[in-house]
Amino acid sequence: MILIGDEIVPFGDISFISNIEQISNTKANSTVLFTYDEKILKYVYDNELSSGVIVKSIKDAIYCNNLNVKYIISEKPLSQQIQKIADNYMYDSKNLAIIDSNDEFEEMARNEIDGIIYRSLIQEK
């Protein structure tokens, strides 16, 4: 299980962005996170950037997987639906559920979700 944002487990550099121009201000080799946006999605795909995308639908998740997104991020109920589809189609992208505290990741492990990400990492600063 992937744990991103946990105090105990180290994780790579992550930058939340809201437009393409902000990518130039991120650290090299970091993962850019953004809310689903087709223009940004196409840009990170074309430039082979590591990315995590916050999705609101299964359709968005399918596009993300097909465009080589590293992490598909969603609220817990949607992440459970996405995981079933991801397992069936053997997604390369990892499905992450958004949580607020480490009290929640055991539930996500029982639901066989690929991993979690803390809400505090995906909020615009």
Domain residue limits at 87: 30-121
Above 90 in pLDDT, residue 90?
no
pLDDT of residue 125: 47
Residue 9, domain member (yes or no): no
Residue-wise pLDDT for 39-57, tens only, equals: 999 999 999 999 999 999 9
Q: Provide the CATH number for the domain around residue 98.
A: 3.20.20.70
pLDDT band at 124, cuts 50/70/90?
A: low
Provide DSSP, the chain: -EEES-SSS----EEE-SSGGGGGGSPTTPEEEEE--HHHHHHHHHTT--EEEE-SSHHHHHHHHHTT-SEEEE-HHHHHHHHHHHHHHT-SSEEEEEESSTTSHHHHHHTT-SEEEEGGGSS--
Residue-wise pLDDT for 12-40, tens only, equals: 999 999 999 999 999 988 999 999 999 99
